[in-house]
Every structure is written in structure tokens, then in C-alpha cells.
Amino acid sequence: MARPRSFDPAQTLTTAMKVFWERGYFNTSIDDLVAATGVSRYGLYDIYENKRGLFLAALDHYHETIFRALLEPVEKPGASVGEIRQYFGVLLFYAGKSEGNIGCLMCNSASEVAPFDAAVAERVKRFRDIAGKAFRQALTTARARGEIGERIDIARQADFLAAALQTVWVLARSSAGRKAISHHIAVTLSTLDK
């Protein structure tokens, strides 16, 4: 008869996500995860099979709980330039704080793990595609409202904004500082000026 779990899988996943986010995939050992979560390696392996399985689950958890929550204003029906500006303002708020130097788990993983792991690369692509889709829709609404000029190619601008959001987190991770991040965002948003 199997023993009932003596830990909360949701809380364990959140804790593991934070460890990977701060330390990176390759710099995190299973012992680090055991110490942080308080769950034995056998307990973790029972649910996630191995460190990679836990990492993939952590990426999915990050996608649903952090990334989508931040992007929600841009994804809502009727979102436009105001919501895009608001979104980058929120990014500046978080990235400009001292704790922001851990960056974005998905952006960190794009350069650290995605080149070597197809499943991680697929998750990073989904992240970028969802951001791009949200920006395209908001820009389409902005065009219909006359908030952006006809010179703006919506597909190209959406791709640029998705890349700009990744750049914010690269700057944060590299300790570029609030001023540099603020300048990057200001120039990014100036491309939306009519």
C-alpha cells in the first residue's frame, strides 16, 4: 500500500521554481531542491521522475502563475497602447528592484537551457508566441482607434515588443540597474508614439 504524501505538491513546485529561477538549471542540484523544499529526493522523483521533469513543471508553473498574470492586461479584450505601456511599467517596477536581478525564469532558460533541450526550447517559444500574440492584438486595437500611425507594421512591432520584454530581464539579470532598464523601456515605448 502506497504511503500518502506528506507534502503539498503545489507549494513544493513553487519553491522549486524559485530555486531554479535564482540559481539556474545547471547550477541547481537535486540536493539544493531537497534542502529548499524539505521533500526527499524520492518524494520529488515520485512526482517528477528527475530534476529535468521538475524543471519542466517549474517552467509551466512560472508560465501560468507569473508570466500570464503580468501579461493579463495586454491580453484582455480591448487592450491597446495604454495596456502595453502599463505592462512595461510593471516590468520596470519589478526589474528595477534589487530582487529583480534574478531576471525572468523563462528568459534565463532561453539562453541557459533551451539550446540543449527541445522541451525547454518549446516552452520558451510558447512564451514568446503568447507575448507576441497579445502585443499584435493590442496593436491592432490601437490601429483601429487611431492610437498608432500607419507606418507601424503590426507584426514586426509585436515581435520587437516581445524581444524588448526579454531584453528587460536580461538587463535586470546582468545588474544593469534601474536607469539602464528605464532607458531601454522608454526607447521601446517611443516606437509607439504617433
Note the pLDDT tens digit of each residue in 142-181. Answer: 999 999 999 999 999 999 999 999 999 999 999 999 999 9
pLDDT at 5: 54
* Domain range for 184: 59-190
Q: Rounded distance, CA 34 to CA 74, Å?
A: 37
- pLDDT of residue 141 exceeding 90, the answer is yes
Q: Is residue 108 part of a domain?
A: yes
pLDDT tens digits, 46-75: 999 999 999 999 999 999 999 999 999 999
Q: Is residue 134 part of a domain?
A: yes
- pLDDT of residue 2 exceeding 50, the answer is no
What's the CATH code of the domain at 89?
1.10.357.10
Q: Rounded distance, CA 11 to CA 172, Å?
A: 26
Place of cell 526550447: 121
The DSSP symbol for 98 reads G
- CA–CA–CA angle 173, 178, 180 (5° rounding): 85
Report pTM.
0.91
Q: Is residue 14 part of a domain?
A: no
